[in-house]
Amino acid sequence: MYHTTFDEFCSYLDSFTNLEKRTGAFSAREYRLDRMSAILAHLDNPHLSYRTIHLAGSKGKGSTAMMIASALRAEREKTGLYLSPHLIDYRERFTLSGQFFDEQTLIASSNAFRKAMEGFTFTDELGVSEVTTFELYTSYAFFLFRYTSCTVAVIETGLGGRLDATNVVQPMISIITPIELEHTQILGDTIAKIAFEKAKIIKRNTPVLISRQHSDAKTVLTREADEQNSHLWDITVEVEVITSRTTMEGELVHIEWKDGHSSDLTLQLRGEVQGENAALALFALKLCGLYSEGVSERAIETASLPGRMSIIEKNPPIIIDGAHTEQSMRHLFNSFTSWFPTGRRIVIFGALEDKDILHMARIIIAQSDHIIISRPGTFKKSDTTATFHLFQAEILRQRASCRLYLEEEADTALALALTLSLSENSSPILCTGSFYLGGEILLSHRRIKQTRECVSCP
């Protein structure tokens, strides 16, 4: 017995080289697939024991993956779902269609995984090369899905695609969601360079489904599909119209397909981008022969995922969203302002240092009344002071009337936001810029609720 709790196992994996904490410093010795393939061969290739669906992209891949997994569960497929990053708990990364595995299964499988890994070493031209944390988590996810007899696995890439540890699977279909500028120090500083990295999840003679894309990205994806003799399906060709409206009840989505059919959905995943994500999920299921009319739609409606316009409090409204690119922030505020068209808006913002903070700031400043800069946890590097000064300069440039605050800790940032909200007729609070910040705010909210409950106890 190696571990008596699953948290102990996670702490063990975190002791290895953790590339997820990096915002730069690309190393070909650290980002590679031959070591990952060697790990899986040592484990008797668990990733080949079930069918897989593989997703990459800058935004939307997690939501699309969750929708597909929910629909597969409705088809009575035992579906493993692998996502990253997590909001507050590593268990979020590997689930049964979004539902946590029970603790006994996690402990038993993690101990079986460690036993199976005994004796593994990997040597390259420079000597012994240590496995990374993400490789181990990914290998464990594949191992867990075989251990629990999953029939299908839906796998989201962690970073890029070409050298991502997940890019060893042989999927039924590859799906690529919108590509934007992100992780530029690692993936490249243009849309075309980033698209090149993500295009490499396209496998030979395997269909690929893409969402709407920047023209430079589409050129790269089309070329890669041609080289791999893989049929490329474009959702913008298959869909005539997608309309979406964010409400407290959910995201009201209407899809008109080119074949004359239509789909009307009330999604638990909110935000105008979810309409296209739902279309991607439905069409992917059709291409895989796993679609059932009515059943798939109803299952997709129930899909939910932390940090995607999640409502953690209704009065005042507190919403968490992990938008961290210019385009995703634009979509987020289109939904946020249509949901709350009047009154004042409060935003808690925090972003990692490798993000396009300037263009996100311009969107936020133009549509917010109070902006609180906070630290997105300590998992990756960020500079709250630099972010604050960037926002300050942009507010002056725009001659905006919004108020700006700096509260590094999530607890004090949320406390300030609640004070401002309550003084202004319960104005909505939006936390955005990073999934890591979302996780910190969610934990702060839980602590505040627990304190209030204790105070109200007799």
For 326-363, write each residue's pLDDT tens digit. Answer: 999 999 999 999 999 988 999 999 999 888 999 999 99
Residue 147 structure tokens? 């251990």
Q: How far apart are CA 399 and CA 397, in angstroms?
A: 5
Asked if 364 contacts 328 with a C-beta cutoff of 8 angstroms, the reply is no
pLDDT number for residue 186? 84
With respect to CATH, is domain 6-215 assigned 3.40.1190.10? yes
71 to 78, 293, 301: CA distances (angstroms): 11, 11, 9
Contacts 24+ apart (CB under 8 A), 294-297: 295/71, 295/74, 295/75, 296/71, 296/74, 296/75, 297/263, 297/265
3-state secondary structure of 174: strand
Domain spans of the chain, in order of start: 6-215, 310-456
Helix then strand then coil, % of the chain, to nearest 5: 45, 20, 40
User: How much is the mean pLDDT over the chain?
Assistant: 93
Question: Quick one: how many helices (H) and strands (E) in the chain?
Answer: 16, 18
- Which amino acid, one-letter code, is at 167? N
The H-or-E segment that residue 108 falls in is: helix 103-117
Strand order in the sheet with 317-320: 310-314, 317-320, 429-432, 346-349, 370-373, 403-406
In this predicted model, what pLDDT tens digit does every residue of 173-230 receive, in sequence order? 999 999 998 887 788 889 999 999 999 999 999 999 999 999 999 999 999 999 999 9
pLDDT band at 32 (very low <50, low <70, confident <90, very high): confident
Asked if 307 contacts 322 with a C-beta cutoff of 8 angstroms, the reply is yes
Does the structure show a pLDDT above 50 at 280?
yes
Does the structure show a pLDDT above 50 at 1?
yes
pLDDT number for residue 29? 46
3-state secondary structure of 405: strand
pLDDT band at 128 (very low <50, low <70, confident <90, very high): confident
pLDDT number for residue 31? 67
* Dihedral (CA of 64, 70, 73, 75) sign: negative
3-state secondary structure of 100: coil
Q: Phi-psi bin for 199: left (phi > 0), alpha (psi -120 to 50), beta? A: alpha
pLDDT number for residue 24? 53
Q: Please state the CATH superfamily assignment of the domain spanning residues 310-456 in this structure.
A: Mur ligase, C-terminal domain (3.90.190.20)
Diameter of the chain by CA atoms? Answer: 70
Q: How far apart are CA 11 and CA 322, in angstroms?
A: 25
- DSSP assignment string, 115-159: HHHTT---EETTEE-PPBHHHHHHHHHHHHHHHTT-SEEEEE-SS
pTM, entire model: 0.91
Residue 96 structure tokens? 């049964």
In this predicted model, what pLDDT tens digit does every residue of 77-91 receive, in sequence order? 999 999 998 888 999
Q: How far apart are CA 70 and CA 68, in angstroms?
A: 5
Q: How far apart are CA 148 and CA 141, in angstroms?
A: 11
Q: What value does the mean pLDDT take over residues 139-152?
A: 98
pLDDT number for residue 451? 74
- Which amino acid, one-letter code, is at 266? T
- Which amino acid, one-letter code, is at 334? N
The H-or-E segment that residue 411 falls in is: helix 410-422
Asked if 81 contacts 98 with a C-beta cutoff of 8 angstroms, the reply is yes
Residue 443, CA atoms < 13 Å, CB-side half-sphere: 14
Using alpha carbons only, give the angle 433, 438, 443 rounded to the nearest 5 degrees. Answer: 155
